[in-house]
Structure formats: C-alpha cells, structure tokens
Amino acid sequence: MNSPLPADCFLNTILYMHLLKNLKERLKCAGLFLQELFFPAFCEGCGETGSCLCESCLRQKICIRKAQQCHVCKKIILRGLIHSECKSKTSLSGVFIAVDYSKFIENYIGDIKYEFYYKMIDDLIPLFQKAFKENDTFHRVVSNSIFTFVPLHSKRKRWRGFNQSELLAKKLSVVWKVECKGVLARKRKTKSQVGLNRKERLENLKGAFEVKDSQTVRLLNGQSMIIVDDVMTSGGTLEECALVLKRAGVRNVYGLVVARG
Ligand SMILES: [Zn+2]
Ligand SMILES: [Zn+2]
C-alpha cells in the first residue's frame, strides 16, 4: 500500500483542524442556547427576566458617580484625578470609579464571584459607558493606554472558571477600542482579603504580583496602562499591581473600577 504523500497529510491536518474548530463553535452555540433555556437571565433587583440588571433597577438602585475622588485622600476632585500633595503616597496616577458604592452593588459583584454567574458582567458595561460619557480626562487617558486586569491565582481561576476582572477589562476594551493585555501574574497565593483590616490587607498583598515574562517587560516600557478591577476597597491590590508595572517601566498606571467600598 502506498504511504500518503506529505502534501496529503498536510491537507488532512488542515481539514481536521477546520472541522474541530467548527465543532467547537457549534458546541459553544449549543451551550449558550441551553444556558439561555434553562438558566434565563433575571434582574438582580426585581427578578424580571431578560437581563441581570433591568433599565428601571439601573436607574433606581444604582447611582452613577457624578464626580471622581482622589484615591489617596478620598476627597472629591473636580480637576484632574489626584491632588499634587497626594502624589508621593501612591504608585497610581488616578483611579476612575463608575458608580457609588452600595449594598446592592456589593451583592451584585458578590454574585458574579461566588455564584459564578459571569453573564452579570455584561450588564455592568452600560454603567461604565454612562459614568464616563462626558468625562474628557477619562477619554484622554483611555485613548493613550493599554487595558490590563488584576490576575487571579491559577488555582482560584480554575475553581471559579473565569477571572471577573479579566472579563470586565476585555469587554470594556472593546467598548473603547483599546488594546487589552494580561501582563501580570500572581507570584503566590494570598489569603482572602475579607475580614482583614487595611494594614493586614496591605501586608497580605506585598510581593504577590509579578510581570509575566521578560518579553512582556519590553512591551511595557514607557506605556500608559489602566488596571481594571471589580471593587476597590483599601486600594492595596491596585497599588501593589501598579508598583510592579512601574518597576517594569510603565510610565503611568491608572485604575478603573466599578465602585469603591
Ligand atoms: Zn430590575
Ligand atoms: Zn488627595
């Protein structure tokens, strides 16, 4: 029997890869259809089906931030993002916050993280669009920056199945047509931040992150970056990530979060 020619093998491999890709896409579509059928989205606020956050709850239960605050002293700031006297206390050039913190938003984010309902992230996107629609500083910073996100430890990501900050960053980068790159990694597993005071939180996060590899470090030199995260509490996570990025050569690092607790 004749052995197949190398060209035939090559064509067969291409065909096989194509079929596999096609099958994967079909399974994904079928999966999404079944998910819609058996687990339809319902509003977190009123229970109405259709989306995780209906128009009326968005208006009534969520307060879009009218003014930004300096992330160091937490005072409202009307021009720029940070007071000049606060600059020496932080590695971040500023933090953009989409909505006011509330029990509702805390529960909403909690359900994404602990009920594994990642589809709820989609309904956060309009909040960001509304919050920054007329914010010139935000648009100036975004148009010159690359988006990134707070990484999860690989074990935690496997357990949850997704990283909520990564999904949020990717979706937001599509909205504002900017690049999104995962450049940070967790060096070690940290304790949960829940229940720790500010000092303990900062201590817990020290040395927890690193830049993925030396190739990434070269890419970062002189860039401006925005780290996306869900809720900012003490600010320790964003500070630690910003410190690592700045050491790797990033010029300016900003934060972009849903709310600040
Ligand atoms: Zn509702
Ligand atoms: Zn300040």
89 CA to centre of ligand 1 in angstroms:
41
Query: Is pLDDT at 2 greater than 70 in this prediction?
Result: no
193 CA to centre of ligand 2 in angstroms:
24
Q: Which of 4-13, 132-141, 197-206 has the highest mean pLDDT?
A: 132-141
Are the C-beta atoms of residues 145 and 189 closer than 8 Å to each other?
no
**What is the value of pTM for the model shown?**
0.81
- Res. 94 pLDDT band, cuts 50 70 90: very high
- Res. 98 pLDDT band, cuts 50 70 90: very high
Return the H-helix or E-strand segment holding 118. none
Q: Which ligand is nearest to the CA of 90?
A: 2
Q: Which ligand is nearest to the CA of 68?
A: 2
Residues 193-209 have a mean pLDDT of 79
What pLDDT shows up at residue 160? 78
82 CA to centre of ligand 2 in angstroms:
6
Are the C-beta atoms of residues 207 and 239 closer than 8 Å to each other?
no
Point out the least confidently predicted range of 1-15, 46-60, 153-167, 180-194.
1-15
Q: Which ligand is nearest to the CA of 74?
A: 2
CA distance 6 to 180: 39
User: How many helices (H) and strands (E) would you count in the chain?
Assistant: 10, 8
116 CA to centre of ligand 1 in angstroms:
20
Strands (E), 98-204: 146-149, 184-186
Walk me through the domains of the chain, giving residue ranges and CATH numbers: 62-260 (3.40.50)
63 CA to centre of ligand 1 in angstroms:
14
